[in-house]
Every structure is written in structure tokens, then in C-alpha cells.
Structure 1
């Protein structure tokens, strides 16, 4: 195993941390009583690290000759990556991987705990990108930056655990300079000791008889780091306290009723605007955490006036990926149905179409692929004994598989149909018949998806090599089954050329899904071309909303 935190080690650490949080998630959720007893700290930490893991894997994919995946959050909304860039080396730079891990955690941070963890990782990245061997210094900067990000730090929380880990790491570095494994192991041991002391430091934890949930999550992450650098699984792991039902926690387990809403959003803004925003949000509520920098921030706050919190963000800059959660809000009980479909869609238009067909949709915006936890949540919301999952994206196959396994562990019968595009999902949904036997329905939907060829248009952002030749910035690319097949100068001409190629092999139905803002004459012009050039082929047109591609095409 590696003794230094190089690129491969960071990747391993991220993977082990995700696995560890997956194992500990339920236990961490069960002891979550501070700052709000909503039982989701473990889940939020898992989703945060999952986003970091996806960002790291994207960097490695770019350096191994695979089609380049833009780092989540770095792609301009409404644009598409064009073609495959030739990698310069086979292994990414360590600094690139560390920054990707921190950036992925920042844009995917969930809840109070996930937001703080993202800042801890950012603090580490600040040091490790400059001094890759100074792990103790990185942990010290992580703890300092986390304290700076929290408006009103409280001892007995993850902040205390982070500080203890940094102090233990510093002591170990003094005794064994350059021994990263010893430093990481000491940090883990120091964090674990501090975690066990949290019930005596924070009254709400003591009354509930539990440790701090966020601190437990950090111990798991540091345990993964120690395992990565030492090659040894930590001998002592924190044992979970008896599970608690977060929705029936006694009143004395939470410090008062607290604000009604949790508000989280990403914010593009300058430092001065964010400083003013901190003051405004601090006056509106509590549990304020603002993390990030270099123009991109993750804002988390608990408030009674969610609208005012969002408006403050609008005044400071450009907020997006806004999430508002009403604490204590429980869905109305309803009878479980026999079968449901969950589909990932690229825009609001198709989400509405899926809703009309009775399917539960998960929105995947450009550069923001859903995490496995979001897919599991959608499966739960479907409230069915049997669920068919349509990922509608080849890049989501692993994420979807993880979600399926978790849902199956919860007792839901789930079938994953490996749809690679939204138009394949529409074809599968069109033949869905809940009155059929489950296996028969899945076979019919799979056959319909498999019989649908798919294409999309994209606009090249830069000069690049593609399977159809060299494209220039601004060229319109026609991708058939994921590969660039046509390089054109305008949307209409490229769409017609793509359809001519696809229909040369036959077809009876063309499906067009247009993005918002697409020229009004695009669909009529393409429909007319299909009627004139390809007899007996029908065309249907759907509004896709703010999807990434100007046009999605399906041929059945």
C-alpha cells in the first residue's frame, strides 16, 4: 500500500471512505440528535462523499483514454462537452485529484454535516496541493477552516473531533517526520477518542446517550485515510449506540424547537458579497455554515423564512441547486402500490411527461448527475412493492446498480433496465403495463428500449478530435449511440443528416425532444424532412425543458 498521499492513494481513500460511510450510515442516522433530530446525518455524509468520489473518478477517466467526463459543477449550464480530448499522461497529478475531491464534496454537500465535511476536505486540499507530504499541516488547516466556516462553533461536535485529529497528527509528525501512515493512524485514534468524549461536552448528546453523529462520520473518513496509507484496517471502530427513532426523539434531545426549514444552495459570488450574506443569514436563523471560495460557495442555514434566505443569496450572487427541507414534515400515509417506474430525465419537460405516465422522475441537470442516494429516495417515494428503474444514461450504470442493491436490501423488488438515453426510457415507458407479470413487463420494456436507437446534438466548446474528424469551437455535433457521427454548421442541417443516417437502416417512429430556447422552426423543418425523405415514418415532438442537449432524437 502507498505510504504517501499520491493521486492513487487519494482515489483509494475516497473509495474506502464511501464504503465506510455506506456501512455506518444507518448507525450515524440513528444517533443524529444535534443540531436537529432529523436522522439524516449519515445519509448526508454518504451523499457528500459520493459526489467527491464521482469527481475523482472523472479525473482518472480523463487520464486513461476514456471519454472525458466534465467535473460536476464545472460545466456551463446548457453546453455540452464535445468529443474526446487526448490525455497527456496515464496518471493524473496528485493536486488535480485532491482538488477534484474537495470540489466534488463542495458541490454535492448535503446538510450541516456534509457542508462541514466539504470544508474540511477543502482545507486539506489547500495544504496538500502545495506541500503534498504535510498531512499533519493539512489536517490542522482543515480544522481551522471548518471553525471559520461555522457562524457559531459548538464544542462536542465534528469541529471538536477534527481539532483532536489535527493535534494528534501534529504530535505524530513530530515523532516520525515524513511517515504519513503514522500521522494518519494517529489522527484516526485521536478523533475516535474525542468522539467518545462528545456526550460529556454537549448536553443534548449526554441526555440522549449518544455521540455526535457528524463526528462519527469524520472518524469513519479518517479511518479510511489510515487504512489507505498503512494498509491495515483500523483495529478499533466506534460501536454504535442503541438505535434511536429520529421522529420520536424526546423533546429534550433537541435544543428547542428551532427554525422550521433547512435551506441549502450553491452560490456564485465574490468574497465581499459572501461576507455580507453571512451577516444577513446569521440574523435570519441558526446553524449557519458557508464553505467554499474562489467564487463558488455552498450555503447552509436553518431558518423560519426560507424565501428570505434564498432572496439573500440572489442579492449576493447567483444561487442554484436550491434545496429547502421542512423539518418534521412527513409524507401523508398512502397505500403501497404493486408496481412503479422511476426514470432519470434531463429536463423538466420530460419530468412532466413521466408524471403524466405515472412514473416518478429524477432530474439530472447538465453537469449534475444524480447520486445513488437520490435514486434510492425516488424508489422509496414511488411507494411500490416492485419498481422498474430507467437510468437513461450510460454513465449512470454504476450509480444505478448501487441504488438497486440498496433498495433491494430494504425489501423492494427492483429491476434495472440499462437505458442509455432518455428516448430509450420513453420507449420503455410507452409499453409499460402494470397488470402484466413483473418479469414479462420488464422484458417488454427492455425490448422496446433496445429497439430504439438514440442520438443528440451538441455544440463543440473547443477544437477537438472526434470519431467523425476534427471539430472546431461552435460546430454542431451529431452523436449517434454516443459517438460523434456528423459535424455540421447549424442545428437543422445536422439534425437532418443524423436522421438520414439513422433511418437508412429502417425505422417507423422518430421522437424529437427539444430543449427550451431551441429555434421555433427546428422541429417543423425536421418533421417536414422526415415526411419527404422517409415515407411511412411518423414523428412525435416533446418539450424537454432546460435539458443540456438542444435536441434528443430517437428512432424506433
Structure 2
């Protein structure tokens, strides 16, 4: 079901934006350099996640669309958040028109983007080229073009649209002079591309490495090559100091167009979005009291947020200066002989990796694969003469190897870990005094005896390794990329998968990580059930906090 795909993938994509919010903030120079675009987009998406997750399992696409529309409107923060809310509303409304609610076709995707463009551009009185709206329009135009390719599936289409999104982001400095002057791409546009890529990766389970189109890695590299964030403490983006945003409950006969025209006389970046009687109002002004007094004539104002953008701009500059000073200080430090970079999807995984000696952890995993540029930056950040990279996923190995080849400042090797748990085992055998070659050999040997298992939920119909049919919403137990167990309960599927793996080859120790969707009580009950079913197996439980996979484990 399309609705199930959205409900499953939206939270994962929102988390990626939240994880990268500060990176997006640093790009923020338009309409004012207040450094809050990533935060505002993340807060907006987070409200949607809460509304979508509150829906019953039987919710239709219409129900999901209403939740997205209401959640994004109520949670929209800042100019970027309000515009994002309208993009999400349009896309969701467009998907409601799909002829088959079970499967989206390329025509459905193209229609959804056309609807997104219509709704988002209608909300903005003075659209500016080189912003999130430009990227949305470019992606929609690409979707229209790809729709004509009758041999193209929706997964291939989405992958190609991700590439177009990043390529459009890379073009934003050529369209908006303030971006070029500050050495950045548009922050809102970049945030949209990040969200869209993470959503597509969650929906398709792919690494984003394409065959028929330019790869996502290459498109991201185009963006990275145009970003060299500079200090900018000039208040040139707007003559208005305060960002005013609030929810508005309108009385009858409320005239949106007339109110927008009046708000334009009080400031700029004026937006009124929503539908009677519920609206979100946003405007930059120097006199917030006049904005509120005017709107109070026509209804009730609530949840008012007033931000001093001048102060926020100075804070952004100070943060960038502090980061650059820290990087310079680190560059002056002597390089260590051997460093380690690993990829992890959850905060718990990252904490464990760092405790084992990993210097830099890159955010990523099965459905949010980091690019070659991301891994290369992490390698350089490790500040070591030799660096070992642990990709933690088969889909990330190629990007890791490409980064290793591209690095000119250090000797780099990749230990081909397929799971983060193999990374744990690899780090246990590290000899800090050993050579790069000796450590790679020992670590590769260590992971050879680690068998991995994962439990997740199907987002489309398929079949297991033995031919058992899999339906959308089923719980799957996966061993080394093979779907070996299918059921309806996470605990039951986990136990069956462990029992099967133990029957095939008995192990002595099991390390298990709870995902963000499994609470402590359920995790403790699962661990107790495993210990009862496998009394000879030593169980080592931890919080991994990985998305989409409530349980991952390894047996050695």
C-alpha cells in the first residue's frame, strides 16, 4: 500500500534531516543568514511524524494525507518550514489520486510532483529562483519527462529524481547571487534533497547507486564542490529583524489575499497557508505588535513564535567561526599512526563504536547510505596516517572503497563489514601498535565468523527464500540478505530466526541491538525469551537506536 510505504519511510527520512540539521543550518544565508533552516525543517517534519504514527494500522492514503497536511501546518516553523509544509501537502494530495492504492506508478509520481508544485508556488507570493521551489519544479519537470519512458519502473524513476534534486541544488548558486557570494547552495533546497533521498532509499532499500542515470554520489559531489562555507556577519538579507509566525483561527469572511497584501506593507517573506478556518501565518517585520494587532481583527492568534533574526545571524557566524577554529586546531595536532572510520545508523551504535576506538562515525545505514564525499570527509577528519574504514553495510562498500582510492593524505583500507555488529567484532581485535596491513588481516578474519540477523517490516509484497509469500506489513527475519522467516510479531520472528541459525551452525555468543521502534520493556522481554529458548547462548543486549530495524543481532 502507498500509505504504508509513506508511514514507514517518512520517519526514517525525517530522522536523516534531524541528524543533518546543523549542516543545513550552516548553509542558511537566504532570505536572511539566521542559520535555522535545518532546525525549522526538522521540527516541521517531526510534527508530521507524530501525527502519522498516531494513525491506526488501517489508515488509508486519504487519512495519511490529512495527517501530513495538518501536522506540517501545525508544526511549520520559519519560512522554510512553511514552504516545506505546502510541498508535503501537495505531494500527499497528489498520491491520493493514484488509481491503485497498493502501488504507485511513474504517472502517479509525476502527478504528485505536479500537485506539489501547484500548491507550494500558490502559497508564495514572490517565488525566488535558486531556492527549494526551484528544486521542486526541476524535479517535477524531470518526473514529467521520465513518465513518458514506458519501460521505467517507479523505483528507477525515484532514483533518477534524487539525482535531479541534487543537480538542481548544485545549480542554485548560479540563480541566486547571495548564495554564490557566500559560497553555499540554498539551505532549504539542500534540506529537501536530503529528505527526498532518505525517503527514496527507505522506500527502495537501495544505495542510490544507479546504472542508467548519473549516480547520486556524483550528483552529491557536484553539490559538495560548490560549498565552501564562509563567515558572513553582514545583515544584508532583510531590513526586517523579527521573524513572526503563529497559528491563526479565522472568523468568517477572512480575506487571505487582502491580509497578505497588508502584511507586505509591514515586512517581507509573508505567507498565509492552510484552509478556513485554520491557517499558519509567517512574516518578517520590525514591529511584531503591529502584525499581531492586524491579524487579531479577523480571528484568534495562538502558538506565537517571534525570533530575532539579527541575533540568530550572529550566532550562526559564531558557530561557523568556532567550527573553523576547531578544525584549524585539529589540523595542527600531530597525526596519529592509525585511525578508524565507521558507518552507523543509530545513536547507540555510534556510542558503542566510539567506545571501541572508532575516531569518526558517519551517519548512515541500509536506507540512508552516505556518499563517497561523506566518507572521504570522515577519513580526512580522522587525522591519521593510516585509516581503516568499516562500511557496516554491503551497499556502502563501493562508496567506502571509492573514498579510500580518492584519499591522497592517508593510507586507507576497507574492512568489508556488512553489519555494524561485524564492526564491533573487528574493533575487538585491533592492535594499536600493529601495521595497517596486519590490522586489516586480523579484522577481516574476525568478521568471517560473525553471522548477522535483522528483523524488519515489509513495505511491499514479495517472497521469502523458500517461496513463502510476503505481504506488505509482514515482519521479516533476514539472515545475510536472505529472508528466512516471515511472521506477524517481532519477538516471534526474532526467536525463529535465531533458532534456525543455531540449528544450521551453533554459536556461543549473541549480541543484539534494539532499534528506536522497540521500547525497553519489549526489549527486555525479548532478551528473556531468547535466554529461555537458547540457554547455552550468551546474550549481550544493547540499545542501538537504529531506524526501521527493531532488532539486529549477530551470532559468533
- TM-score, normalized by length of structure 1? 0.50
The residue number in structure 1 matching 2:232 is: 249
The residue number in structure 2 matching 1:534 is: none
2:242 counterpart of 1:261:
yes
Aligned to 1:324, the other structure's residue is in SS state: strand
Q: 1:330 to 1:287 in 2, by over 3 A?
A: closer
Question: Conserved in 1, the CA contact under 8 Å of 2:132 and 2:188?
Answer: yes
Q: 1:243 to 1:321 in 2, by over 3 A?
A: farther
Deviation at 1:13, TM superposition (A): 2.3
Deviation at 1:305, TM superposition (A): 1.2
Deviation at 1:171, TM superposition (A): 1.5
Question: Conserved in 2, the CA contact under 8 Å of 1:271 and 1:295?
Answer: no
The residue number in structure 1 matching 2:309 is: 327
- Taking the aligned partners of 1:283 and 1:332, their CA distance within structure 2 comes to 27
Aligned pair partner of 1:40 in 36, 46, 69: 36
Aligned pair partner of 2:20 in 10, 21, 24: 24
Q: 1:289 to 1:179 in 2, by over 3 A?
A: farther
Aligned to 1:298, the other structure's residue is in SS state: strand
Deviation at 1:279, TM superposition (A): 1.2
- Taking the aligned partners of 1:231 and 1:222, their CA distance within structure 2 comes to 14
Deviations 1:179-238 (A, max 9, x none): 332332232222111100000100000001100000001101211232233221334253
Give aligned pairs, total.
301
The residue number in structure 2 matching 1:281 is: 263
Structure 1 unaligned regions, length at least 5: 64-89, 334-400, 406-556
Deviation at 1:327, TM superposition (A): 1.6
Aligned to 1:49, the other structure's residue is in SS state: helix
The residue number in structure 1 matching 2:71 is: 104
Question: Conserved in 1, the CA contact under 8 Å of 2:31 and 2:237?
Answer: no
Question: Conserved in 1, the CA contact under 8 Å of 2:28 and 2:187?
Answer: yes
The residue number in structure 2 matching 1:208 is: 182
The residue number in structure 1 matching 2:280 is: 298
2:145 counterpart of 1:171:
yes
- Taking the aligned partners of 2:73 and 2:151, their CA distance within structure 1 comes to 31
- Taking the aligned partners of 1:151 and 1:56, their CA distance within structure 2 comes to 29
Q: 1:14 to 1:332 in 2, by over 3 A?
A: closer
- Taking the aligned partners of 1:190 and 1:282, their CA distance within structure 2 comes to 34
Question: Conserved in 1, the CA contact under 8 Å of 2:270 and 2:284?
Answer: yes
Deviation at 1:129, TM superposition (A): 2.1
- Taking the aligned partners of 1:205 and 1:268, their CA distance within structure 2 comes to 36
Deviations 1:279-306 (A, max 9, x none): 1111211111222224221111101111
Question: Conserved in 1, the CA contact under 8 Å of 2:33 and 2:313?
Answer: no
- Taking the aligned partners of 2:131 and 2:69, their CA distance within structure 1 comes to 21
Q: 1:304 to 1:162 in 2, by over 3 A?
A: same
The residue number in structure 2 matching 1:161 is: 135
The residue number in structure 2 matching 1:93 is: 60
Q: 1:243 to 1:322 in 2, by over 3 A?
A: farther
Question: Conserved in 2, the CA contact under 8 Å of 1:273 and 1:317?
Answer: no
Q: 1:159 to 1:113 in 2, by over 3 A?
A: same
Deviation at 1:114, TM superposition (A): 0.7
- Taking the aligned partners of 2:272 and 2:241, their CA distance within structure 1 comes to 19
Question: Conserved in 1, the CA contact under 8 Å of 2:139 and 2:164?
Answer: yes
Question: Conserved in 1, the CA contact under 8 Å of 2:244 and 2:282?
Answer: yes
Aligned pair partner of 1:13 in 9, 13, 21: 9
Deviation at 1:121, TM superposition (A): 0.8
The residue number in structure 1 matching 2:296 is: 314
CA RMSD in angstroms, aligned pairs only: 2.9
Q: Which has the higher contact order (CA 8 A, sep 6+)?
A: 1
- Taking the aligned partners of 1:211 and 1:332, their CA distance within structure 2 comes to 20
Question: Conserved in 1, the CA contact under 8 Å of 2:33 and 2:237?
Answer: no
Deviations 1:487-537 (A, max 9, x none): xxxxxxxxxxxxxxxxxxxxxxxxxxxxxxxxxxxxxxxxxxxxxxxxxxx
- TM-score, normalized by length of structure 2? 0.50
Aligned to 1:290, the other structure's residue is in SS state: strand
Structure 2 unaligned regions, length at least 5: 210-215, 316-346, 352-556
